[in-house]
Amino acid sequence: MIVRIWHGRVRTENADRYRAFLNARAIPDYGSVPGNEAVYILERKEGDETHFVTMTFWRDELAIRQFAGDSITQAKYYSEDKDFLLEFEPDAVHYEVVGSSTASRT
């Protein structure tokens, strides 16, 4: 499995709207691609800016290619991102998942 990590920053005053956009548009888009195993979006406020980290988990490189295109490390943006993001980082970072655990519920 491969995790694809992307980072973006928005003005804190726009964070609620951007979070809503990610949940309504981006997460369903990731999930519609065969081979997408999971999506996690992290948020951290830092004064006037709020950071978002999107972690998508993919079965293999072919699945990422179906989502991102042939240049799999290039970040994918939505047209709505221009209304929120302070910059457009050019790349996502990929890591191979080599270990994992889930909490047991008793």
In the chain, the N- to C-terminal Cα span, in Å, equals 27
Residue 84 token pair: 């929120």
| The pLDDT of residue 104 is above 90 | no
Could you report the per-residue pLDDT of 42-64, keeping only the tens digit for each? 999 999 999 999 999 999 999 99
Give the Å distances, CA to CA, from 59 to 36, 67, 79, 96.
Answer: 6, 12, 27, 10
Q: How confident is the model at residue 97 (pLDDT cuts 50, 70, 90)?
A: very high
Helix (H/G/I), strand (E/B), else coil: 63: helix
Q: What is the mean pLDDT of residues 4-17?
A: 98
Whole-model pTM: value is 0.92
Q: Would you say 21 and 80 are in contact if contact means Cβ atoms under 8 Å apart?
A: yes
Domains and their CATH numbers in the chain: 2-96 (3.30.70.100)
Could you report the per-residue pLDDT of 75-86, keeping only the tens digit for each? 999 999 999 999
